[in-house]
Amino acid sequence: MTKQRLVMIGNGMAGLRTIEEILDRDADKYDITIIGKEQYPNYNRIMLSNILQNKMTVEETIMNDYDWYEAHHIRLIVGDPVVEVQRKEKQVITQSGIHVAYDVCIFATGSRAFVLPIPGSTLPSVIGWRTIDDTEKMIEIAQSKKQAIVIGGGLLGLECARGLLDQGMEVTVIHLAEWLMEMQLDKKAGDLLKADLEAQGMKFKMQASTTEILGDEDVTGIVLADGSTLDADLVVMAVGIRPYIQVAEQCGLVVNRGIQVNGYMQTSDDAIYAVGECAEHQGQVYGLVAPLYEQGKVLADYLTDRETVAYQGSTTFTSLKVSGCDLYSAGYIKEDDDVHGIEIFDSQSNHYKKIFIKDNVIVGAVLYGDIDDGSRFFNMMKKAEVLDDYTMVSLLHKGGETGGLDIADMADDATICGCNGVDKATIVNAITSNGLTSVDEVTKTTKAGNSCGKCKGQIAQILEHTLGDDFVAAQPTGICACTDLTRDQIVTQIRAKGLKTSAAVREQLQFKDEFGCPKCRPAINYYLNMIYPAEHQDEIESRFANERYHANIQNDGTFSVIPQMRGGVTDAEQLIRLGEVAQKYNVPLVKVTGSQRIGLYGVKKESLPKVWEDLEMRSASAYGKKTRSVKSCVGKEFCRFGTQFTTQLGIRLEKTFEYIDTPHKFKMGVSGCPRSCVESGVKDFGVIGVENGFQIYIGGNGGTDVVIGQHLTTVETEDEVIKLCGAYMQYYRETAIYAERTAPWLQRIGFEQVQAVLLDEARQNELFEKIMEAKHAVSQEPWSTIVNASKESAIFKVEEVKV
């Protein structure tokens, strides 16, 4: 069968996504030619600000390299823009005179930067920022010039201004409106943004306009409407974009602001389509990537003869790529007779949230400082979810919810990557079906995260939630993508600088993301807890969901509740209470766990506070990176082979070290004889009773990769076991990388080194004293408050925890 000839005019993000979607559907249908104006393959235009801010190189922004075009048998013409389309002959003509015939033609010409038509606007150092070449020109100018003016305080202008600051220039932003980003932010959020940017060194002239750019051969300054002047070596126009429609207009297509298209992206010519920033659909032109990709999917369906729903328009969102200024805006953000706003503001941390409601449905949201709820609000907007089940006082949490939405709680159809329209279920299915283990692999397979990149933290959380302990986050050079610093460098600097909060660590150590990511937030919180057990206030919001809820999320979205049962020992009263609670809350599964406890499985999230209250039992640390359990046999008290009272020792170990944070989960086993019924040899700390005392084994792992523990020593008394265990645990706490189990830690540090430290009496005493300090501090934490001293039980109250 002869292939149809498809010619794409434009080599940008919207056009190439359309081609990718076509190839995914039917790789053999078209003979494809792509013609681009720039001298590059397809690159991520969103990331130009990261090049300017020294976060990325040009090469790192390339989305489809030359090998990709060749591998898909696509003819690529670069640096040679189309200047004419002859509709009757069905051919396009490039600037150099190349003629290319088509059966199907797609305009994906994008847009151009709007340059104010004022005197001086054609001087060499006046730039309308839009391309790699524009970016490289600004970087070159910054090497010898120091005064920059950015005209326009919108998204693009602020990202440009931040980049020029990073290039060492002094930057003033000229903005016509009363506050920054007035199309995406309300006044409160705009003022917060301005204050933060001023603290970074940016200057502003608000409600000001430029009437002239001064200079003969090049820029020397600008003149404002009030007659005042400002010195300048570089002027960047960031006052908006205009769809590039000249060629379409010349060939007789119907155009308005953009090339007019129907719901299948078809123009007034049946053989010609338009997609992306150059297209106008129902009077709307989009400049954000998410709608352009949605258009591309519809067009790909249509051109490969698949049934598809016509494009209906898009709900858009905006985020800013400037370190230290996290903001999120989506939908309609103005109050009027029909739209009302609800807002909260934390003046201490400058966190601001406002939602806009019409007919009991969210139609818009503005978040500043803390943007974790952005995707949740966006999903509620897209679904037009009625707010009957939500409480306004906590800014839209469902009744019984503990706080912000965790990945584990998100619905399968919740959008994770707004730019590419990828939902949670798609990512989970890709992980499980293809054995994906890294964010990069997920991005390559699903395209989630390959545009603005803001969702990569959530992708990492989905990987961790889906893979559990098998997930190992990518570590570039530092502990995460936010920093190039290693664990040892961070811990050293925390001690040297006396840093006491996670925010101070990220600020003082110049993390790329002021608020951190799912990889570094819990790690830094742990390091601070370890270094300052009595001084650092545990940052609950940095802990993983299971630790915050004291319950483990299951694959159906319900939770398992596992009360403490030291040494697997219980009594009639506890058993009755467990049975009553299981019956009262219709718990579908009551099971003895592998750690000798009784678990209630299938508990609904909203029932967690009441379940714990009714149990009147302390929560076992079955969910966190800390002492998980001490498994023991009945020992010499009942067993004819037993040599020691192992249940007694197991309970002592658990009571002594419970709730102390460790780099990863820490499991112990106490066996009464070498038969080792509780598998002490594959525990992080294993004890085997023998006639003359206790054999101690360390660094065992009974997980996916079984590691046999190494024999450390043999001691005579229970007290010696307790002390040695404490010293071992503290040394592990002080030297391990967060999320590193004892088995790889022991291999990395070296068994001989660990043995030498632990068997040195002075060092052993010192380490034990430190872990006792940690135990004293952890006993003061609010989540372990004793509520029934006579029964030594505690209730974990979910509603007390900020998530």
- CA dist 457 and 515 (Å) reads 11
751-758 and 761-778 helices, crossing angle to 10°: 90
Cβ atoms of 387 and 378 closer than 8 Å: no
Tokens of 784: 């372990």
Which residues have a Cβ under 8 Å from the Cβ of 289 and sit 6 or more positions away? 13, 14, 46, 419, 451, 452
Q: Which helix (H) or strand (E) holds 164?
A: helix 155-166
Measure Cα distances from 612 to 203, 548, 605, 639 in Å: 54, 14, 12, 35
Q: 633: annotated binding-site residue? A: yes
Cβ atoms of 267 and 274 closer than 8 Å: yes
Terminal Cα distance for the chain, rounded: 59
- CA dist 430 and 86 (Å) reads 44
- CA dist 500 and 477 (Å) reads 24
Q: Which of 271, 274, 248 is nearest to 261 (CA)?
A: 274
Report the C-alpha dihedral over residues 632, 634, 635, 636, rounded to 10 degrees.
160
| DSSP states of 223-276 | EETTS-EEE-SEEEE-S-EEE--HHHHHTT--BSSSEEE-TTSB-SSTTEEE-S
- CA dist 85 and 98 (Å) reads 12
Q: 673: annotated binding-site residue? A: yes
Task: Compute how many other C-beta atoms are within 10 angstroms of the C-beta atom of residue 577.
Answer: 18
Q: 517: annotated binding-site residue? A: no
- CA dist 264 and 274 (Å) reads 9
Which residues have a Cβ under 8 Å from the Cβ of 349 and sit 6 or more positions away? 369, 370
- CA dist 588 and 578 (Å) reads 13
Q: Which of 36, 60, 35, 34 is nearest to 46 (CA)?
A: 60
Q: 480: annotated binding-site residue? A: no
- CA dist 505 and 584 (Å) reads 46
The residues with which 111 forms a beta bridge, in sequence order, are 243
SS (H, E, C) 305-316: CCCCCCCCCCCC
Cβ atoms of 238 and 151 closer than 8 Å: yes
State how beta strands 147-151 and 234-237 pair: parallel
State how beta strands 397-398 and 390-391 pair: antiparallel
Per the annotation, where are the binding residues for siroheme? Answer: 677
Per the annotation, where are the binding residues? Answer: 633, 639, 673, 677
Per the annotation, where are the binding residues for [4Fe-4S] cluster? Answer: 633, 639, 673, 677
